[in-house]
Amino acid sequence: MQEGKLSKPYLISAEDLTTDDVNLIFERGRFFESEYLLRSKFNDLENYTVALAFFEPSTRTRISFELAAERLGAKTFLFHSATSSLTKGESLLDTLNTLDAMDVQIFVVRHSAGGVPAFLQRNTSKIIINAGDGKHEHPTQALLDAYTIHKHFGYIKGLNVAIVGDILHSRVARSNIILLKKLGANVALSGPGTLLPRHFNCWNVQYLKNIDEAIEWANVIMLLRLQNERMDSGLVPSLAEFSKNYGLTLDRISRKPELVVLHPGPVNYGIELQYEVVGFPNVLIQTQVAHGVFIRMALLSLLTKTYEPK
């Protein structure tokens, strides 16, 4: 790998990242974080146009990418599928080719169907970044989570990280499992049997039967949002039952105040997390949000150095 370049000119999966890539992204992220207060604008993406192609709702990820791109000097535009020719039968590939012809160089893609960013990447020479696809992956969330852990401890290798909640439907969980194991963390999962993948041992991770076991074992606990559709689908007996076994309460965290707590947001207070827990200094949910901008700045900057126009 050449200095200052990533191993691939796109990011579809956490599998695309080598440990050298991650270290490079973290180093660049630290630079942007330290320099931002001195100068809020950089020119890494000057003359680049970034399409924010979000085909499903997003707040944190979309705004984070938009701020990251604009702070690097890029022009950005939000692509609304509801008001585009997709509603008239135009295919995703047609749309990609149209924007490609307008010299859009970077596509940040979120889609409800797994595999869409990979499909687009196979059909263009431009930069594609997966901002979350179906139940598949969310690699930039895993990067900012790992960066947050690394900044807190100074290392990741050997740490125990428990991921708790709806593992089955979580693209955040999948990307984090891949990336954290690649960086040497010990990863364990905890959640109701109905919300666990049938064959999760292919990841070679531990299973912890409830959040109490997770807290006892872990240095870091990553809580996952329980989506409304899971609450209504019968996959959990009741919200009270879920919270009893997998919710982080004030009493539970008080037993281990040094425990680092992460959550990709938005939080269902009273279900995954009791609101009062947020006041603990090692609950780093807002820190994750702040880090998301700097890590996405780092990724965009490095991808433009890796990218070779054709």
**Cα 286 from chain centroid?**
14
Q: Supply the pTM of this predicted model.
A: 0.94
CATH 3.40.50.1370 segments of the chain: 14-137+292-306, 139-288
Residues with Cβ within 8 Å of 120's Cβ and at least 6 positions away in sequence, in order, are 92, 93, 96, 107, 109, 128
Distance CA 293, CA 297 (A): 6
**Cα 47 from chain centroid?**
27
Whether domain 139-288 has CATH 3.40.50.1370: the reply is yes
pLDDT band at 41 (very low <50, low <70, confident <90, very high): confident
HSE-up of residue 201 (Cα within 13 Å, Cβ side): 2
Q: Which of 223, 167, 160, 224 is nearest to 199 (CA)?
A: 167
pLDDT value at residue 237 = 77
pLDDT value at residue 80 = 67
pLDDT band at 26 (very low <50, low <70, confident <90, very high): very high
- The pLDDT tens digits for 6-16 are 999 999 999 99
pLDDT value at residue 233 = 64
pLDDT value at residue 36 = 84
Torsion of CA 228, 233, 234, 240, to 10 degrees: 10
CB distance 69 to 45 below 8 Å:
yes
User: What CATH topology corresponds to 14-137+292-306?
Assistant: Rossmann fold (3.40.50)
Q: What is the overall mean pLDDT for the chain?
A: 91
